[in-house]
Amino acid sequence: MDRMTDPGLTADDVRRILQLVDDSHYGELRLEIGDLRLYVRKEGETATLAPNGAAPAEVRGAGKRGAAEKEAAREETMEADESVPGDDGLVYVTAPMVGMFYRAPGPDQEAFVEPGADVAEDDVVCLIEVMKLFSSITAGTKGRVKEVLAENGAMVEYGQRLLAIEPAEGA
Amino acid sequence: VRRVFVANRGEIAVRIIRACEALGIETVLGYSEPDRETLGVQEATRAVCIGPAAARESYLSVPAIVQAALGTDCDALHPGYGFLAERVELRNRCDEYGLTFVGPKAESIEAMGDKLRSRALADDAGVPTVPGSDAVATADAAREAAEQVGYPALIKASAGGGGRGMRPVGSPAQLATAFAAATAEAKEAFGDGRVYLERHVEKARHVEIQVLGDGEGRAIDLGERECSVQRRHQKLLEESPSPVLSDLLREQIARAAVALAQRARYLSAGTVEFVFDERTGEFFFLEMNTRIQVEHPVTEMVTGADLVAEQLRLAAGETLIGRPAHEGHAIECRINAEDPARGFAPHPGRLTRWRPPEGDDIRVDTHCYEGYTVPPYYDSLLAKLIVAGPDRPAVIERTIAALEDFEVEGVPTTIPFHLELMHDEAFRARGVDTRWVDERR
């Protein structure tokens, strides 16, 4: 919780909100205070926080995204990753949700990974955006990126293969 | 409207896709992982997987659905029935992202989704409502309310529907237990534990009026459907016209429904449900469903109207059609993958044989085909068999023939139940009341 920088909401506030959600019968909470958005989902243990200095104005198709939206992609999110071993000895990182696929944290930034890069289990390899909420997808496996299978800025379906990873020896 | 995102599954997804196709509109179907093999996925212009089997992560996920609609460049969204059809959050998100929602306005969804608010609206429009109370917070308050409403009473959830959070109370002695159970169930099912009391109409008939509104205060009715054949408040068979309404009552009920739709400046297709007391001839407003209904084909068969096409036209801002004339009679049987011999237990499985009947005046709405595996995650509706004819006796005979022609193997279905019903003297004479199925078994 040390990532939060907005002075309007302290780590303690968030902890209290999480507790309230946890004790309630609601599965989801969407909180917007000014340009800060908090989205909490109970099942799947996902919590994302996006304090957007420049809140995304509009999200429509891949080609129409403005720079401001990509700005928001820099903010940290957490998401349980999905990685599925294939028959070919490779491990595939698959989309845990339908959304827009991004290889880099921002429009003018370098991709998280390129083919050939070594990755650890917890390394972020891409982002998926669902209605202005960005989830970081981790490799889930220690190894080397063999191929990026989805197109930057395109919509990916649930379960779609995003990256192929050659697992490290003993991984 | 150029490309419609279909935010549903099963037979209604196929129905919407075909209606769009007939109007030259493209479709994108959002499906969950186990629904990859359904007919809708094959028939839609494009299909995208929006999530896993759990409806909460797919068909009930507003972000997944709206994102998928935007990502596939849709300009409109049809919610079908069930799932998110009556969730105002979906409507609001569509507005926010510039998607045309094929259905009513947010105000209508919200107002009609709350039983207490919708009852107040009905009162305002001069539509008779069941004698009832405001929300009651304690068992004592409920007891007081019951004295005024009269026994037998019914405790109902304010946010409710589908019979959940509902408890009959025959006498004051039963009240405390029933109140606690209804409150707990309402809280569990709807996240809202508020309940209220209503007079319980025994020997009730479920009569509903199909309406279409243009959102500017104009509305028409397309006649009634009687849906009294129910098991635990789930409809099994619907027909039009009702076998028990006089022409005068029919006109009065329809007029009340139209008054409500006009007053609410209702947009799109909706259904105003009434309980009709056969013994007293009184009718009372129950609720308004702000969506296309499962049983809409019954109305289409007797009026010739295409309700899904009208929804699409109205969503595109086109003018309301004139009130169509009614002709003949129609009956719809819900063919569910359930075992009527075992308490209608849902029964998923592979359809090793699937041969629906064909013929003039026979319509089968389905997403199934031979070899299709009925998944265990969703409702058990396999198909709707709709049969039309000049009058009720003729339609009953044709329905018997159609049911006998309907070949299904692999899962038990409600076909034997419907056959039995078609031969039942009480049903044949003038239909049955809403508790008939439950009391008989």
Contact B142, B213 (CB under 8 A): no
- For B89, the token pair is 């959050």
Minimum Cα–Cα distance from A153: chain B residue: B71
pLDDT of residue A79 exceeding 50? no
Residues B357-405 pLDDT 10s: 999 999 999 999 999 999 999 999 999 999 999 999 999 999 999 999 9
In terms of Cα–Cα distance, which of B387, B353, B391 is closest to B372?
B353
Can you name the residues that pair with B439 across neighbouring β-strands? none
Contact B90, B101 (CB under 8 A): yes
B164 catalytic per annotation: no
- For B223, the token pair is 């006649």
The rounded distance, in Å, linking the Cα atoms of B346 and B336 is: 8
Residues whose CB is less than 8 angstroms from the CB of residue B250 and which lie 6 or more positions away in sequence, other chains included: B223, B224, B241, B242
Contact B286, B257 (CB under 8 A): no
pLDDT of residue A29 exceeding 90? no
DSSP characters for B88-145? HHHHHHHHHTTPEESS--HHHHHHHHSHHHHHHHHHHTT--B-SEEEEE-SHHHHHHH
Q: What is the mean pLDDT of residues B40-50?
A: 97
Q: How many CB pairs under 8 A join A and B?
A: 67
Burial class (CB in 10 A: 0-12, 13-18, 19+), B325: exposed
Reduced to 3 states, what is the DSSP secondary structure of residue B436? helix
Q: What is the mean pLDDT of residues A73-89?
A: 60
Residues on chain B bordering chain A, Cβ-to-Cβ distance under 8 angstroms: 30, 32-33, 48-52, 56-58, 63-64, 66-68, 70-73, 93, 97-98, 187-188, 191
Burial class (CB in 10 A: 0-12, 13-18, 19+), B379: middle
Can you name the residues that pair with B195 across neighbouring β-strands? B136, B157
- Interchain CB distance below 8 Å, B49 and A100: no
Give φ, ψ of B149 to 5 degrees.
-70, -35
User: pLDDT band for position A61 (50/70/90)?
Assistant: very low
User: pLDDT band for position A15 (50/70/90)?
Assistant: low
Query: Other C-beta atoms within 10 Å of B67: how many?
Result: 28
Please report the ipTM that was assigned to this predicted complex.
Answer: 0.78
Maximum C-alpha span of chain B? 61
pTM score: 0.81
Residues B236-267 pLDDT 10s: 999 999 999 999 999 999 999 999 999 999 99
Residues B197-232 pLDDT 10s: 988 888 899 999 999 999 999 999 999 999 999 998
Report the pLDDT value the prediction gives residue A139, as an integer from 0 to 100: 95
User: pLDDT band for position A71 (50/70/90)?
Assistant: very low
- Interchain CB distance below 8 Å, B51 and A98: yes
User: pLDDT band for position A51 (50/70/90)?
Assistant: very low
Burial class (CB in 10 A: 0-12, 13-18, 19+), B225: buried
Report the pLDDT value the prediction gives residue A38, as an integer from 0 to 100: 62
Percentage of residues in chain B having pLDDT higher than 90: 87
Interface test with B, best of A82, A158, A160, A161 (most B CBs within 10 A): A158
Residues whose CB is less than 8 angstroms from the CB of residue B287 and which lie 6 or more positions away in sequence, other chains included: B112, B115, B118, B161, B273
The rounded distance, in Å, linking the Cα atoms of B290 and B271 is: 7
User: Which range (A45-49, A122-126, B117-121, B405-409) has the least confidence?
Assistant: A45-49
Contact B123, B167 (CB under 8 A): no
User: Which range (A41-55, A139-153, B406-420) has the least confidence?
Assistant: A41-55
Q: What is the mean pLDDT of residues A107-136?
A: 95
Contact B254, B271 (CB under 8 A): no
Report the pLDDT value the prediction gives residue A42, as an integer from 0 to 100: 58
Reduced to 3 states, what is the DSSP secondary structure of residue B392? helix
Contact B166, B178 (CB under 8 A): no
| Residue B152: alpha-carbon gap to chain centroid | 26
